[in-house]
Structure 1
């Protein structure tokens, strides 16, 4: 009688290997955030505006101007870092506002059920039915180009997406025994939402926010590129690209540096969000 061969036992993956898909993009994103917000204070950089026109169009790696200067003599590295502050501030603000408003509406809708759920979700469906990008452009144009108006316009149209994520997570929670026990004990609805629903839906909302960071940065860059976002001389990656395209053939690095910063930041947040989504979903 043949003896079955023992199957080789696969060694468990080390912890650092399992966490690498999250740690690596998180480290890159953190590095970009630290560079943008701490770099101008730590590095001996010139101000992002008010440069000397006699030092315009200096090439990259010029002493005192690591990435060169723009047509107005402003230090490009300083403008890239300050532009990152603007883009990241918009992205974080939009996601925080969208998460708070949309997450609250979605949790309330899922917890109420019935007619309350129907009314809230139908109102959000009406908002989703409109082409959001076109409406964002219209709102930015009507309110006037500024960082505050950009945040408000983008946050308004991010609410339905957060609400749908929150509602779906809340509906799944309603089937859990601890939710039924809380309701049978007569726990008020607001207390159930704060103590039982909110802590359990935050991971899904945070994951969606990480994915949304990259998208918001791209949209903010597009608005600034079109002149509907942050206005020069205040730097943002979008208006730096718009400014650099005017002399793209002669000085391509004016476009390359802000594009590279935008690409690395968006890619890091997208990979981080996707890794978190896979981790929470058990894939």
Structure 2
């Protein structure tokens, strides 16, 4: 009597587009937003974001010369959305780059050294995590003054512990690999092991978290600007545009709709990109 084959069937991989679309689509959207915000004002026939003509106040969307309309000061809304996106993206990129470099380095050093060094570094970072970061960011912005630079420094400072934890966890897993032991047995200096072996292997995890952090940072920056503690008018940002538009929301909702839509699409793109990268690197 034949014995039935109980081995599980191997699932054939699906079409290439089903595996790449979850990454390509949000990545393309994010790139499109970045290009539009940084290059759009240079190549599109849009006026400056400030110094508008008050005679053109509250122009509706799709008015000739003002595709998205004009705000109460006669400023072109499209120009302000693009320049506001440039400001928000600049803050997000700067915060995550600083957090990745500082936190990634601390976490890698901590995980590689182990012992008392690891304990000291991580306990200091645990203290930072214990504080309500958003409240402290608000306090820092209030005490140092509302500006783009202060917003970047405050948000970057409180992003370091999260990057450090991810970097440390990835480094601890790497320490168990044979090539790490081989490098140490060959007498390779610790700094060289970190640069040559640890950094390239933990970079995917850090970059994935940075993509997720981009969306979160844009939201926080928008909240700070909405509260008047971020980028200050007349310089545009999506947050202060929403704050200004809420005063006439019932009469001219487009003042809020366009920056909200830009904020939503950008944050969604970075969140989906980060989640797709996480799934790809984790093998899900």
Establish whether TM, by shorter chain, passes 0.5: yes
The CA deviation string for residues 158-182 of structure 1, in whole angstroms up to 9 with x for no partner, is 0000000000000000000000000
* Residue number in structure 2 paired with 1:276: 277
Partner Cα distance (1:254, 1:17) in 2: 38
Q: Normalized against structure 2, the TM-score is what?
A: 0.97
Matched ranges for 1:13-162 at <5 A: 13-162=14-163
Q: Distance in 2 between matches of 1:120 and 1:3?
A: 59
Q: How does 1:171-210 map to 2 (within 5 A)?
A: 171-210=172-211
Q: Take 2:9 and 2:102, find their aligned partners in 1: how far apart are those partners?
A: 52
Secondary structure of 2:214's counterpart equals helix
1:3-48 deviations in whole A, cap 9, x for unaligned?
Answer: 979x998653222221110000001111111110111011000100
Distance in 2, Cα, partners of 1:29 & 1:190:
35
Residue aligned with 1:250, SS: coil
2:240 aligned partner? 239
Q: Does 1:264 align with 2:262?
A: no
Aligned length, in residue pairs = 283
Equivalent position of 2:255 in the other structure: 254
Structure 2: any 5+ residue segments left out of the alignment? none
After superposing the two structures, state which structure 1 stretch, 188-197 or 12-21, moved more: 12-21
Q: Distance in 2 between matches of 1:137 and 1:98?
A: 18
Distance 1:9 1:125, change over 3 A: closer
Distance change >3 Å, CA 172–CA 68, structure 1 → 2: same
**Pairs within 5 Å for 1:204-223:** 204-223=205-224
Unaligned runs of 5+ in 1: none
Q: Deviations over 1:50-93 (max 9, x none)?
A: 00000000000000100000000000000000000000000000
